[in-house]
Amino acid sequence: MLPSAKRLSTLEFKVVIEKGAFFHSDFILLRAIKTKEKSRFAVSVPKKVAKTAVLRNKIRRRVYSAIGAMGPMINLGFNAILIMKSGVERASFEELASDIRKIFVKSGIIK
């Protein structure tokens, strides 16, 4: 699980939604913005993707776990929101982690 110090606050979330750049992958829409502080993340799972709160929370926990595992590779200075797309509820953890790594490389969050 990702510690709360590495998660976006409500104010930071609004700034990233308004000004962040878009990046797409199979399961994820990423909005990211450069900052001068440490990197922070947020995960959004719309009801359109997973109807029940139990499934939405399961997906969110998987994503936070995958991000936490990539911790040492993440560059400083990014605020990012990962918005899940349809199909992620059927993806395995390995597929999801691979997709997150791919989109982080595309956006410059990891090398």
pLDDT at 58: 95
Find residue 31's DSSP bridge partners.
Answer: 22, 81
pLDDT number for residue 46: 96
Q: Which fold has domain 4-107?
A: Ribosomal Protein S5; domain 2 (3.30.230)
Which residue, 101, 111, 94, is CA-closest to 23? 101
Q: Is 8 within 8 Å of 40 (Cβ atoms)?
A: yes
pLDDT value for 4? 85
Contact assessment for residue 25 and residue 99, using Cβ atoms and an 8 Å cutoff = yes
Q: Where are the domains of the chain?
A: 4-107
Secondary structure in 3-state letters for 40-76: EEEEECCCCCCCCHHHHHHHHHHHHHHHHHCHHHECC
For the entire predicted model, the pTM comes to: 0.91
Confidence of residue 71 (pLDDT cuts 50, 70, 90): confident
Is pLDDT of 78 > 90?
A: yes
Per cent of the chain over pLDDT 70 is: 100
Averaged pLDDT, 29-37: 94
Range 66-93 average pLDDT: 92
